[in-house]
Amino acid sequence: MNDRLLVLVRHGESEWNLKNLFTGWHDCELSEKGVQEARAAGKKLKAQGLTFDIAFTSALKRAQNTLGLILEELGQTNIPIIKDQALNERDYGDLVGLNKDDARKKWGDEQVHIWRRSYDIAPPNGESLKDTAARVLPYYISEILPRVMRGDRVLVAAHGNSLRALVMVLDRHTTKSILELNLGTGVPMIYHLAADTTVASKQDLAAA
């Protein structure tokens, strides 16, 4: 039976999340809490009786390490893992490395809010959510979706904004409603897809 399984997990808390810094493509480690969140995600997936055939992650180690810890908990460290920067976090450009409070002092609350929460306005030398979607969605359509549709059980560990771009399509968000969506660190989202590639069912393990 083909249950067309796709599970998405945002990486656990990173050291820069903890310090309230704009992270983007900076390659920081998981915090201690982030390691615990990743292991907890693995335990939740194991409790659901889930196993996987293949996993995808970004080129950044906070997502890769989250994936590794999840697979450790599942006892599935030998499955193929594909890493691609198409799944990287949104690039925050000139904001990378800045404390979010300091950025507000420099550019003002309203401007920083626009950069963080508009759909198509990018920070200086960075990406908007629209730009992020422009690299995530073609990769999903060409590399991930075909595997799900042929019956591979697929796990994706990535980032808040790269996954928001994907969830926007899966959950049929508008360019407005997606701006209100925050994905928790280390929270698995379990999708089963219908034969026409739309979502047949979704389960969010945040409360589990």
Q: Active-site positions?
A: 11, 89
Tokens standing for residue 7? 């599970």
Tokens 């929270």 sit on residue: 187
CA distance between the termini of the chain: 26
Burial class (CB in 10 A: 0-12, 13-18, 19+), 207: exposed
Distances (CA, A) of 191 to 15, 158, 167: 29, 15, 10
Cα gap 179→166, rounded to integer Å: 13
Q: Which helix (H) or strand (E) holds 137?
A: helix 129-139
Asked whether 62 and 30 are in contact (CB, 8 A), the reply is: yes
DSSP-assigned letters across all residues of 82-95: EE-GGGSPPP-GGG
Give the integer Cα–Cα distance in Å for 139 and 57: 12
